[in-house]
């Protein structure tokens, strides 16, 4: 039975059915009068498929692979078009030029975050990722400045990553060349980098509280993009009961409980003269504002809980997932892996990697960038909304309209990439084999809502990937050929590889 059928069955047996029927009828009238405009009126806004009452364009979309459905519609309706997710009008920006123009050239107009029902349930407007207004501005500015103070993207961060490699590599070695799933160790390693910056210390991989938090985080990000949650976001009054929503809220409560305990421990050790992480700085700022009698301070403990939770989630999943893709793609394409090994042997040898080596490793650098492009980790970015009425590329878009910057259409834009559907490191190499940047390389999005930790992620990807490649040769499990390795992602908020195992064979 489909989810819609299950929902219908519950509604038919509910005592609230007459009330819901009245609500449905009212919504139909509102929708019909306000959204099903005449063809003449429709030309004022972006074009798009004709919506059905209440359902909008849901039946015309593959909700499990929504970015692919929207990319197909872009071929018909152009780089700016509209669809209805239920009764919610959404404007989709497709292709590099449209996305860049909106998010960068019109950064203020397209710079607000649209907070979906599930996102609101999860954060209530607190933190950084799913927040707007003065609170978002103040907390983002504080987080960015503090992360930079603690070495984000600088030599201090490199030392943390290389130290973490000393813990990660033995985990890979412990499997003695036998197949294993790389998900957990890579998640632990990347999470520890953000933890060392946020809390001032790393955690052992044997710490059950730490590993459980990482596991819950990975699970929540995956199911945040699941079909039941997408249906809930479109029809919250109908799908509030779905199991995945309850699981997300349960995971949030459990992780917040663990975060509060870690914050309590940090507060007990707080030395205002010697802050060792973002949390310490937050406490000092909070105390200062309390002493000064600042009204409406955004530095509350509740906001701190969500800021820490946001950084923990964002700083773990996207980087670890990209590394998973990187190792999988190296096993899939052994000739490319061999070229990386040859370049590392020539330039690095057996000494530790240094971030300054990047300029002397053009092919390896190109491979890392192509992994980010090809894996397309956040295919629809995080939804935006307009802050005011705007005429964009000849189309009128009202204030408060939900906007999808379709990053899939940017990273796979046929007008920007020679072979967009193929893993091809040559996208980032010139004819002489030198590394070249590409304007359409926007895996971190762009504009006011560009990823807060972009600099940190770039450094981590380079150092973790090269360190692992320096020590190991990655192959499919015995009995499985490179051609049989599956590159189809799982359905989720981020594009994770299908569960798989690899062999990490120690290089001599």
Binding residues: 451
CA distance 95 to 334: 32
Contact 268, 37 (CB under 8 A): no
As a whole number of angstroms, the distance between CA 118 and CA 136 comes to 18
What residue has token string 């292709």? 95
Residue with tokens 């975050």: 113
Q: What DSSP line would sit under 328-373, residue for residue?
A: HHHHH-HHHHHHHHHHHHHHTTTSPP-GGGGGG-HHHHHHHHHHHH
The pair of structure tokens assigned to 57 is: 């364009």
Phi and psi at residue 194, in whole multiples of 5°? -70, -35
Distance CA 420, CA 374 (A): 8
Q: Which residues pair with residue 435 across a beta bridge?
A: 429
Cβ-based neighbours of 293, under 8 Å, separated by 6 or more: none
Q: Which residue positions form the known binding site for heme?
A: 451
Beta bridge pairs of residue 90: 83, 402
List of residues 6+ apart from 209 with CB closer than 8 A: 203, 258
Phi-psi region of 153 (alpha: psi -120 to 50; beta: other; left: phi over 0): left
Q: What is the DSSP string of 261-275?
A: HHHHHHHHT--TTS-
Spatial CB neighbours of 22, under 8 Å, sequence gap ≥ 6? none
Q: Which tokens belong to 27?
A: 């919504």
Quick one: how many helices (H) and strands (E) in the chain? 19, 9
In whole angstroms, give the CA distance from residue 362 to residue 360.
6
Report the distance separating Cα 493 and Cα 66, nearest Å. 11
Question: Measuring CA to CA, which residue among 205, 163, 213, 199 is closest to residue 185?
Answer: 205
Question: How many other C-beta atoms can be found within 10 angstroms of the C-beta atom of residue 449?
Answer: 22
What's the CA gap between 368 and 461, in Å, rounded? 7
Q: How many CB atoms lie within 10 A of CB 378?
A: 22
């Amino acid at each position: 039975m489909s989810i819609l059928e299950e929902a219908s069955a519950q509604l038919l047996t509910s005592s609230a059915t007459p009330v819901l029927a009245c609500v449905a009828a009212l919504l139909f009238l509102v929708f019909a009068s306000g959204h099903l405009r005449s063809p003449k009126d429709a030309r004022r806004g972006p074009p798009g498929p004709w919506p059905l009452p209440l359902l909008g364009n849901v039946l015309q979309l593959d909700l499990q692979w929504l970015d692919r459905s929207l990319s197909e519609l872009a071929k018909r309706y152009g780089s700016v078009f509209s669809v209805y997710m239920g009764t919610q009008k959404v404007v989709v920006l497709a292709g590099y030029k449209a996305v860049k123009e909106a998010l960068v050239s019109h950064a203020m107009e397209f710079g607000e975050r649209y907070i979906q029902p599930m996102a609101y349930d999860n954060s209530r407007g607190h933190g950084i990722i799913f927040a707007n207004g003065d609170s978002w501005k103040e907390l983002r500015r504080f987080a960015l400045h503090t992360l930079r103070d603690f070495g984000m993207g600088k030599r201090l961060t490199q030392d943390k990553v290389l130290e973490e490699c000393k813990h990660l590599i033995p985990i890979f070695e412990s499997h003695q060349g036998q197949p294993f799933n790389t998900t957990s160790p890579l998640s632990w390693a990347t999470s520890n980098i953000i933890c060392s910056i946020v809390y001032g210390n790393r955690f052992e991989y044997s710490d059950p509280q730490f590993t459980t938090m990482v596991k819950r985080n990975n699970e929540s990000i995956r199911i945040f993009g699941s079909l039941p949650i997408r249906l809930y976001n479109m029809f919250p009054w109908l799908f509030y009961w779905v199991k995945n929503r309850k699981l997300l809220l349960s995971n949030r409560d459990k992780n917040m409980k663990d975060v509060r305990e870690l914050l309590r421990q940090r507060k007990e050790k707080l030395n205002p003269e010697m802050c060792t992480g973002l949390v310490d700085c937050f406490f000092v700022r909070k105390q200062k504002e309390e002493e000064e009698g600042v009204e409406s301070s955004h530095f509350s403990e509740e906001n701190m809980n969500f800021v820490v939770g946001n950084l923990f989630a964002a700083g773990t999943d996207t980087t670890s997932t990209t590394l998973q893709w990187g190792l999988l793609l190296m096993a899939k394409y052994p000739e490319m892996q061999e070229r990386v090994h040859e370049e590392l042997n020539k330039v690095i040898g057996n000494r530790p990697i240094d971030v300054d080596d990047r300029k002397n490793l053009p092919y390896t650098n190109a491979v890392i960038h192509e992994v980010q492009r090809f894996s397309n980790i956040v295919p629809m970015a995080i939804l935006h909304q307009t802050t005011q009425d705007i005429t964009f590329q000849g189309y009128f878009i009202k204030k408060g309209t939900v906007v999808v910057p379709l990053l899939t259409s940017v990273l796979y834009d046929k007008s920007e990439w020679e072979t967009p559907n193929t893993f091809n490191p040559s996208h980032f190499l010139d004819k002489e084999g030198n590394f070249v940047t590409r304007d359409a390389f926007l895996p971190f999005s762009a504009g006011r809502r560009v990823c807060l930790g972009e600099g940190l992620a770039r450094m981590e990807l380079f150092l973790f990937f090269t360190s692992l490649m320096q020590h190991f040769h990655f192959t499919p499990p015995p009995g499985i050929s490179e051609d049989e390795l599956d590159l189809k992602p799982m359905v989720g908020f981020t594009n994770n590889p299908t569960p798989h195992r690899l062999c990490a064979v120690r290089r001599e």
